A and B are shown apart, each in its own frame.
Chain A
Amino acid sequence: MSQPESAVADAQAGGRSGQEPLAKLAERYGLRRAIARPRFPVYMRQLWERRHFVLTYATSRNVSKYSNSALGQLWQVLTPLLNAGIYYVMFGLILGGKGNIENYPAFLITGMFVFTFTQRTVTAGAKSISGNLSMIRALHFPRATLPLAYTIQELQQLAISMGVLGVIVVATGEFPTWYWLMIPVVLLLQTMFNVGAALVIARLGASMRDLNQLLPFITRTWLYASGVFFAIHDKVVNGAGLPEWVATAMYLNPAASFIEWMREILIKSYNPDFGHHPPTMVWASCVFWAVFALGFGFWYFWRAEERYGRG
C-alpha cells in the first residue's frame, strides 16, 4: 500500500541488464505469479467451492465457544434470554422508555435482537483477518471465507435467538399471523447486509489495528441512532423538536430499517404510520442496503485479496 515506489522499481531493474528478464522466462514457460488476485468471477466461484469450509468453520467456532462452560450449548439460549431480561428491567421499568408504545417488551426485545445480529457480525468481522493470520499464512483459500464464516456463525446464533424472541413475543400477547411468514425474508436481507458489512470491516480491520478499540463506540452510537429503546419519530421530532428529515434519515439507516420491518411483522399493535413513515420506505431501504452492501462488500474485500497475509 505504502511501498516506496522508487525502491521497488529500482530493485526490479537492478542487476541483470542485457539478459532476458526472469519475468519473460516465466512467461515463456507459462508460469504464473504465486500470489495473484484471481478475476472477480473466478474468485466468486472459488468461494462457492469452499462453502463446506465456511459452514464447518462456523459450526466449529460455535461449538468451541461454549466447550469450556458447564452448561455448554445451553448458553446459546440463556444469553439472549438474560439480555432480554436486563434490557426490560433497565429500559422498560427503571428508565421508563415506554412512552406511548403499546407492547413495549416486544418492541424493545425485537429491536435488541435484530440489532445484536448486525452488531456482533460487524465486531466479529473486524477480527476475522487479524485473528486468523497464522491460518492465512499456512493455507491457501479465498480469504473472504473467513468474514463469511463469522457471519454464518452469528446467523446460527440468531436462529436460536429468534426462537426465544418468538416465545417472548407470544407471551406478551401477540399472536402469530400470516405476516410471520415474512420473517425469513427480512432475515435473509439482513444477512446479506451483514455479509457485506463484515467484508468491508474485515479489510479495514486487517490494516487498521486501532479499529478494534474504536468499534465498541461506533456500534454503541449506532445502537442509539437506530431507535432500539424508543420510537425514533416520537423522541426526535415530538420530544427534541428536531426537523422531520432527521427522523427520516435515522429510519433509513440499515439497522433501524431492519428493526422497523421486523416490528411491523411481529407486533400487531405496532402501527407502521406510528413513526410517520410509510412502510414501503422501510422495505425499500432494507432491499437497497442488502443488495448494495453485499455487492460492494465482496468487491471491496476482493481488491486487497493478495495483501491479507502481510499483517
Chain B
Amino acid sequence: MAELTKELSKVKGEEPAVPGKDVRVHPNPELATKGPLDAPTGTPTVIVDDLHIVYRVYGAASESEKGNAVNALTRILKRQGRPQMKEVHAVKGVTFVAYHGDAIGIVGRNGSGKSTLLRAIAGLLPPHSGAVYTDGQPSLLGVNAALMRELTGERNIVLGCYAMGMTPSEVREKYQEIVDFSGIDEFVQLPMSTYSSGMGARLRFAISSAKTHDVLLIDEALATGDREFRKKSEQRIRQIRESAGTVFLVAHDLRVIEQTCNRVIWLHKGKIKMDGDPKEVLAAYTKG
C-alpha cells in the first residue's frame, strides 16, 4: 500500500495529459454539431473526475516469491504482506465530461486501460480515488458478459435477461428476437461450450443489446462475428444510440470509430493522451 501511495503522488506530479484544457468545455464544439448524432446539448451525462482504478490481481508471481512454502513462511514472519497479490494501477487520473448526444470513441493500445475505464463508468469497478457521475444507469455491452458454458444457449438467454433485470413476460417477449438476431438457429438447444467463439460472441451481444439503455458502453462488440453479423450489429447500435444519451465505443478498428464517433479519447498507459476531433486524434494515434 505504501508503494501505491508513492506511485499515486508520482502520477499527480507529472504533467497533466491534456495541458491547459478546461474539461467543462466540449473539446470539439465545431465537429460536434456535424457529428453523426444530434449536437451535444450542453447537458453533461457522464462526468469522470480524476479517476484512479487499482485492480487487485492474485496469483501473480513476483521476484522474491517462487511459490515455495519456506519463502511463504519467512515472508509472513517478516510481515511482508502477500506478494502474490499484485496491485495494477490501470487508470491513472482520468478526467473528462461527456455530453448528451456525444458518441465517444476510446482508442489506445492493449492494456492502456480502455476496458477498465468503461467498467468504471458502468459502475462495475469501484474507483480507488476520484469519482464517476452518470445520468441514469449506464450499461456495458461487452462481449465477455459471463454466461454458463455448460448450459444450453436457451438457458443462457433466459439467465442473461433475468440478470439484466427483465421480468418473465419481457423475457418471453424478447426470446425469439434474441435467437433470430444472434443467428445461431438450432444451436440454441446445445450447450454453449460447443459453440465456436464467433457464435458465443454473437449470442452474448444479442442478449446484452436486447435491453434499452441510457448511457451505452460498447466494448469491442463490433470486432466479432462475420461480415453479415457485423452489419447487423452496427445497425442495432445505431438504433440504440438514437434513444441513448451518450455512447462510448472501444474498438481497435479505427474505421468504425471514425464512422460513428464525434469525439475520440486516446488513452495511453492509463492516462488521457489526447481528447478531441476524431480525425486529429486518430491521425496522431496512427502516427505514434
Binding site for B on A (CB under 8 A): 2-4, 6-8, 10-12, 14-15, 19-23, 25-26, 29-36, 49-50, 52-53, 56-57, 60-61, 63-64, 67-68, 132, 134-141, 209, 306-307, 309-311
Contact = CB atoms under 8 A, between A and B. Distances in A.
B130 A12 contact: yes
Contacts of A35: 120, 123-127, 132
Interface string B154-195: 010011001111011001000000000000000000010000
B173 to A, nearest CB: 14
B133 A311 contact: no
Interface in B137-167: 137-140, 142, 144-146, 148, 150-151, 155, 158-159, 162-165, 167
A16 B52 CA distance: 16
B124 A306 contact: no
B55 interface: yes
B56 A310 contact: yes
B233 interface: no
B52, B119, B146, B162, most chain A CB atoms within 10 A: B162
Given A11-B12, A137-B124, A31 B45 contact: yes
Contacts of B151: 60, 63-64, 67
Contacts of A14: 12, 50
Given A25-B97, A52-B167, A135 B138 contact: no
Contacts of B74: none
Contacts of A137: 119, 124-125
A134 B133 contact: no
A30 B146 contact: no
B82 to A, nearest CB: 8
Interface stretch (B3-11, B28-36, B60-68, B247-255): B3-11
Nearest to B160: A139
B12 A138 contact: no
B122 A140 contact: yes
B56 A15 contact: no
A116 B181 CA distance: 44
Interface size band for B? 35 or more
A311 B56 contact: yes
A22 B23 contact: yes
B43 interface: yes
Contact of B95 (A2, A22, A32, A136): A22
A310 B126 CA distance: 6
Contact of B132 (A11, A33, A52): A33
6 contacts: A4-B2, A56-B159, A134-B144, A140-B124, A140-B164, A140-B165
A60 B160 CA distance: 12
- Would you list the 8 A-B pairs with minimal beta carbon distance, nearest first? A26-B133, A34-B123, A53-B162, A31-B133, A64-B150, A4-B5, A22-B49, A135-B146
B224 interface: no
B126 A52 contact: no
Contact of B50 (A15, A20, A25, A140): A15
A109 to B, nearest CB: 31
B112 interface: no
B113 interface: no
A56 B89 CA distance: 36
Contact of A10 (B12, B138, B144): B12
Interface in B38-74: 43-47, 49-50, 52, 55-58
Nearest to A30: B135
A56 B8 CA distance: 43
